[in-house]
Amino acid sequence: MKLTNRNLVTIDDVSNDEMEALFCLADDMANSLDSQYGLCQGKIMASLFFEPSTRTRLSFEAAMLRLGGRVISAVDVGATSLAKGESIADMARVVGSYADVIVIRHPWEGAARVVADYAGVPVINAGDGGHEHPTQTLCDLYTIRKQRRTLKALRIALWGDLRHGRTIHSLIYALARLGASILFCPGPGLELPEHVLRRLSTEYKGELRRCANLNQGPERELFPIDAVYITPSSPHQLAMLPDISVRVELKAGVDALYVTRLQKERQAPTVEQQELKKKYPVVDKELLKGKEFAKTLVMHPLPRVDELACEVDSDPRSMYFKQAAYGIPVRMALIAILLGTRDVAISREYNSFAQKVEHPVYKRDSGVKCCNTNCVSNQETETKYMRPEFRIVSSEPLTLRCIYCEHELHAKYVASSDWHQGKLENKKYHSANSHWARKIKPGNLIIFASEDEAQAQQFKPSSYVTR
């Protein structure tokens, strides 16, 4: 299997075994950085960072320079033609003709996918809004692998802003695929988005359980756990005794505690946000005295603010500066593989715990829009050339997942394109929760956001329209 000329937009763009092959190459490169110069001689990387970045941008640019390639960059939307109203698609076409590989960070969720669709060269997502940050996940997993010598049967606690943290979202999917047990420890009101939880529940083989009772009673000293995902390779005690099962899991210790800061740039400044900042959970030496953390790796994608005490820096369990340093060999390996200047052998060592489901796609001019206002499909400069596009991930209820940002929505009214047979009197629409909706073939499905929209297209309400 070749990785040459592929894109890395989400962590699902690489398999578990492809990640392991990449990590083996990163090991080789880390042991001989100087000898890698020349691998990408004559190649150009476009570095497009339209959000602030220190580690990600500099590590990508340093990686390309260490490979002997060159870098062209744009770091301010206001200094580009995007500020004049140019579409991302047009920008991608142009930059793709200048460079051999593109690395992009953008505040709009799904922007990296659009660039990948139009650039004609490999595209690497360096973070798109609150959606994903797949190369950070590669660095995170590489760090754990270096310290634990394996990525199998892990217990990982995710701490802080789980709602807006794109590093968290990429990491969750990768950990679930690898069969990890994941403990969710959010700040107040910062729990995982429902669409992430739903995907975790439906496409992976473990069990997801809420654990509200864990923080009550005499054992409250356990760190605050909101929910837990138990790998399918563990005994299924969880189904009957969820709280006890989690405590059993914790007795074996946590392999890594992954801390994230409050993503204030993705929230409007409010009085509530100031209160949230005061209540945001902090990782310090006192917390790490717990038995479950005796051998825990303390990780953080950085930058940190107040959620991780500086006193932890000297603790041998702290890994966050190593994570940043590992970004160089990991990104060197990724660039070299995508450009085809180094090949890797793909083994079959890791099983995937994800169910590979090919969901049917819904793409029509009429109907629904993504409910996420920060999705690239909702931006004025992009709607002139792109239509909202969704995967139909469930029929009960009818649930659509945006292909750009992965937010989900429930349809309200539906019709079929083949039932009316061209006769106006047969054009009927139905409630999406009616049994008729489940009989419509995906290729014939028409979705309406409202009854007014359906009637504007000359459809009439059927008797299966809930009023």
**Which tops the pLDDT comparison, 201 or 135?**
135
Residue 37 has pLDDT above 70, yes or no: yes
Q: Give the pLDDT confidence of 2-17 residue by residue, as tens digits.
A: 788 999 999 999 999 9
Q: What is the pLDDT of residue 237?
A: 46
Most confident among 76-85, 104-113, 210-219, 412-421 (mean pLDDT): 104-113
d(CA 86, CA 392): 31
**Which tops the pLDDT comparison, 250 or 335?**
335
Across 304-322, average pLDDT: 93
Q: Find the range with the poorest average confidence among 344-353, 391-400, 405-414.
A: 344-353
Whole-model pTM: value is 0.90
**Which tops the pLDDT comparison, 239 or 288?**
288
Q: Could you tell me which residues come within 8 angstroms of residue 358 by beta carbon, excluding any fewer than 6 positions away?
A: none
Q: What is the pLDDT of residue 233?
A: 64
Q: What is the pLDDT of residue 420?
A: 56
- Return the bridge partners of 49, or none: 105
Q: What is the pLDDT of residue 140?
A: 96
Instruction: Characterise 96 by phi-psi region: left (phi > 0), alpha (psi -120 to 50), beta (else).
Output: alpha
Across 241-263, average pLDDT: 73
d(CA 423, CA 407): 36
Res. 223 pLDDT band, cuts 50 70 90: low
Across 336-345, average pLDDT: 92
Q: What is the pLDDT of residue 425?
A: 67
Whether the CB-CB separation of 23 and 145 falls below 8 Å is answered with yes
Q: Give the pLDDT confidence of 21-31 residue by residue, as tens digits.
A: 999 999 999 99
Across 106-112, average pLDDT: 95
- Return the bridge partners of 207, or none: 230
Residue 115 has pLDDT above 70, yes or no: yes
- Return the bridge partners of 128, or none: 106
Q: What is the pLDDT of residue 224?
A: 74
Residue 351 has pLDDT above 60, yes or no: yes
Angle between helices 55-66 and 134-148 (to 10 degrees): 80
Whether the CB-CB separation of 286 and 254 falls below 8 Å is answered with no
Whether the CB-CB separation of 346 and 18 falls below 8 Å is answered with yes
Residue 439 has pLDDT above 90, yes or no: no
Q: 10 Å Cβ neighbour count for 53?
A: 17
Q: What is the pLDDT of residue 218?
A: 45
Q: Give the pLDDT confidence of 53-73 residue by residue, as tens digits.
A: 899 999 999 999 999 999 999
SS3 assignment for the chain: CCCCCCCECCHHHCCHHHHHHHHHHHHHHHCCHHHHCCCCCCCEEEEEECCCCCHHHHHHHHHHHHCCCEEEEECCHHHCHHHHCCCHHHHHHHHHHHCCEEEEEECCECHHHHHHHHHCCCEEEEEECCCCCHHHHHHHHHHHHHHHCCCCCCEEEEEECCCCCHHHHHHHHHHHHCCCEEEEEECCCCCCCHHHHHHHHHHECCEEEECHHHHCCCCCCCCCCCEEEECCCCCCCCCCCHHHHHHHHHHCCCCEEEECCCCHHHCCCCHHHHHHHHHCCCECCCHHHCHHHCCCEEECCCCCCCCECHHHCCCCCECHHHHHHHHHHHHHHHHHHHCCCCCCCCCCCCCCCECCCCCCEECCCCCCCCCCCCEHHHCCCCCCCCCCCEEEEEECCEEEEECCCCCEEECCEEEECCCCCCCHHHCEEEECCCCCHHHCCHHHEEEECCHHHHHHCCCEECCCCCC
d(CA 184, CA 204): 16
In degrees rounded to 5, what are phi and psi of residue 453?
-65, -40
Across 296-322, average pLDDT: 93
Across 50-55, average pLDDT: 90
Q: Give the pLDDT confidence of 135-152 residue by residue, as tens digits.
A: 999 999 999 999 999 998
Residue 238 has pLDDT above 50, yes or no: no
User: What percent of the chain has pLDDT above 90?
Assistant: 49
Q: Find the range with the poorest average confidence among 61-65, 133-137, 241-245, 354-358.
A: 241-245
Q: Find the range with the poorest average confidence among 233-237, 286-290, 324-328, 386-390.
A: 233-237
Q: Give the pLDDT confidence of 149-189 residue by residue, as tens digits.
A: 999 889 999 998 998 889 999 999 999 999 898 999 888 88
Residue 202 has pLDDT above 50, yes or no: yes
Domains of the chain by start residue, with CATH: 11-131+324-338 (3.40.50.1370), 135-321 (3.40.50.1370), 361-461 (2.30.30.20)
Q: What is the pLDDT of residue 197?
A: 87
**Which tops the pLDDT comparison, 233 or 334?**
334
Residue 107 has pLDDT above 70, yes or no: yes
**Which tops the pLDDT comparison, 350 or 154?**
154
Res. 245 pLDDT band, cuts 50 70 90: low
Residue 247 has pLDDT above 70, yes or no: no
